[in-house]
Chain A
Amino acid sequence: QMSKQLEMFRTNLEEFASKHKQEIRKNPEFRLQFQDMCATIGVDPLASGKGFWSEMLGVGDFYYELGVQIIEVCLALKHRNGGLITLEELQQQVLKGRGKFAQDVSQDDLLRAIRKLKALGSGFGLIPVGGTFLVQSVPAELNMDHTVVLQLAEKKGFVTVSEIRASLKWETERARQVL
């Protein structure tokens, strides 16, 4: 019953892979289309490295390796940024680490890899700010104070102690600490 269907599907996927595997690896837009379509029908191609998608299209390896690179970048920069990094900077750093000949990595790719990393329980989170995201790699260090100030800062790209005092009515010490 199901095993026959599965075999057939496997063959179809193999055919698809032989023609378009490169495309998926090289073209971030195509990858995005692929991911969106999978999501629509209720399939998670990244659930397991043992899945068909991973084995035949190699999508798995791409994202899981990206996960490792993201973890390493966040760890390396944590002492500087306290575990909070913009999606843009993360992308830059990851691309740098991957070298000149590696495949291109889009922000969507990073977001998907990070969402998968959440399963590991160690605090990876995405905070929407403006049109983009902040990537948090340290669990629960961010409290309400921080979040509110971040959103305030996002409007203009920066925030000053006097602004915080004016709009949030905090004391100077509190504002300085958060900054």
Chain B
Amino acid sequence: QLKFDSGVLLLSTHRLIWRDQKNHECCIAVPLSQIVFIEEQAAGIGKSAKIVVHLHPASSNKEPGPFQSSKYSYIKLSFKEHGQIEFYRRLSEEITQRRWESIPTGQAMQVNKDSQAGRIRAVGIVGIERKLEEKRKETDKNISEAFEDLSKLMEKAKEMVELSKSIANKIKEKQGDITEDETIRFKSYLLSMGIANPVTRETYGSGTQYHMQLAKQLAGILQTPLEERGGIMSLTEVYCLVNRARGLELLSPEDLVNACKMLESLKLPLRLRIFDSGVMVIELQSHNEEEMVAAALETVSEKGSLTADEFAKLVGMSVLLAKERLLLAEKMGHLCRDDSVEGLRFYPNLFLTQS
């Protein structure tokens, strides 16, 4: 058995070439004309699939190779990873077609008559390598140009940041004549640049014209989905719903939050509600979570006790919102919690009802 491990097997119209993956200089080949016939050996446990190639005895003008002669008249090709079936098919085809008899070798073979064993440089392989190298250099050049441009752009952006800081300071100290209008415009500049608003929050938060418009749009889009979901939806659900519908020009999470913060002040039929836990939801104005709590209490009482998961399943709402409702009920004094390693379970508050 030869020590030729880990390599790539190539098939041309004239030869079978094996090239060492680690040492690219090492390349051995067998002319297809030398092949008598080939057979397959299926893979077994601990054995890889093989192709056995039976060869004619070497002719006297054989090129130098790893062995001058061998007592075996065949070689075995072992496919440790995959490819045996396909290769066998292709090899059979080539042997049947015997194209080497009709196609002149010409450029295809360049024999390197070194004293070292069997180095045959195939032009094809080198050509491919060269192309890959060129492509890599091209990509590198593009990237470095891109980085240069990026750095220049960032320099300019930095100037914008500095400028906005000085304007923000002016506004804070009420220096100069900065009108209401200009302040609003300034805020939209900040929005465009992605610079955080250094000015103290007013009623509209970081709201700008854009967010106001957005709030109105949202009121329209969310009316029906909210009604379908019992009047309440988490902000995460809203984010997915709205962005999926838009497809392009998506909203950033911050855009959504800023717009929602304006809902109430714009007297729209929806509002943003932030629970104690930090969870944010959108509710219909007509939705009254406190009323829902009464219903929740009934449900929990019927079952004796419930976890957020169980409650969610029973009522058909998301676990997140179910939990918030139970927590609210607890806050209002209707439920008690039992917090153990088994989880958080809610019971009707008997301390209150049974004195």
- Residues of A participating in the B interface, judged by any CB pair closer than 8 Å: 1-3, 5-6, 8-10, 12-13, 16, 19-20, 23, 27, 30, 33-34, 37-38, 40-55, 60-61, 63-65, 67-68, 71-72, 116-123, 138-140, 145, 173-174, 177-178
Interface membership of B109, Cβ < 8 A: no
Q: What residues of chain A lie closer than 8 Å to B153, measured between beta carbons?
A: 12-13, 16
Complex CA–CA separation, A88 to B281 (angstroms): 30
* Residue numbers in A under 8 Å from B248 (CB-CB): 61
Are A121 and B194 CB-contacts (below 8 A) given A2-B164, A139-B320? no
Asked if A65 and B154 sit within 8 Å, CB to CB, the answer is no
Cβ B185 vs Cβ A5 within 8 A: no
Contact assessment for B240 and A2 in the assembled complex, using a CB-CB cutoff below 8 Å: no
Q: How large is the interface on B (under 10, 10 to 19, 20 to 34, 35 or more residues)?
A: 35 or more
Extra contacts, 16 of them, besides A6-B193, A42-B161 (Cβ < 8 A), are: A2-B163, A5-B159, A23-B146, A38-B154, A40-B154, A42-B195, A43-B195, A48-B191, A52-B193, A60-B250, A65-B243, A68-B240, A119-B253, A120-B280, A122-B280, A174-B341
- B193 and A51 within 8 A (CB): yes
12 contacts between A and B (CB under 8 A): A3-B185, A5-B159, A6-B192, A16-B153, A19-B149, A20-B150, A47-B191, A48-B194, A48-B255, A49-B252, A55-B249, A120-B239
- In chain B, positions 240-266 with a C-beta closer than 8 Å to chain A are 240, 243-244, 248-257
Closest 10 A/B residue pairs (Cβ): A121-B280, A64-B250, A177-B341, A119-B253, A122-B236, A41-B158, A120-B235, A44-B194, A51-B194, A47-B194
Judge whether B252 and A64 touch: CB under 8 Å: yes
Check A38/B341 contact, CB under 8 A, given A48-B252, A49-B250: no
Q: When each residue 216-256 of chain B gets 1 if its CB lies under 8 Å from chain A and 0 otherwise, what string results?
A: 00000000000000000011100110011000111111111
Interface residues of B in 307-341 (CB under 8 A from A): 319-320, 341
Tell yes or no: B350 within 8 A of A by CB: no
Q: Which residue of B lies closest to A53 (CB)?
A: B194
B181-198 Cβ-contact flags toward A at 8 Å (1 or 0): 000011001011111100
Residues of B whose CB lies within 8 Å of any CB of A are 142-143, 146-147, 149-151, 153-154, 156-161, 163-164, 167, 185-186, 189, 191-196, 210, 234-236, 239-240, 243-244, 248-257, 274, 277-280, 319-320, 341-342
Kindly state the separation between the CA atoms of A119 and B206 in the bound complex, as whole angstroms: 14
Q: Which B residue sits closest to A62, measured CB to CB?
A: B250
Given A2-B164, A27-B143; A41-B154 close (CB under 8 Å): yes
**A118 to B255 CA separation, bound complex (whole angstroms):** 13
A147 to B255, CA, bound (A): 33
Contacts of B151 in A (CB 8 A): 37
Q: Which residues of chain B have C-beta atoms less than 8 A from A119's C-beta? A: 253-254, 256-257
Give which listed residue, A19, A20, A68, contacts B243 with CB less than 8 A.
A68
Contact (Cβ within 8 A) B146 A121: no
Measured CB to CB, the nearest residue on chain B to A176 is B341
The 8 Å CB contact of B194, one of A2, A3, A45, is A45
Q: A49 contacts which of B159, B185, B255, B257 (Cβ < 8 Å)?
A: B255
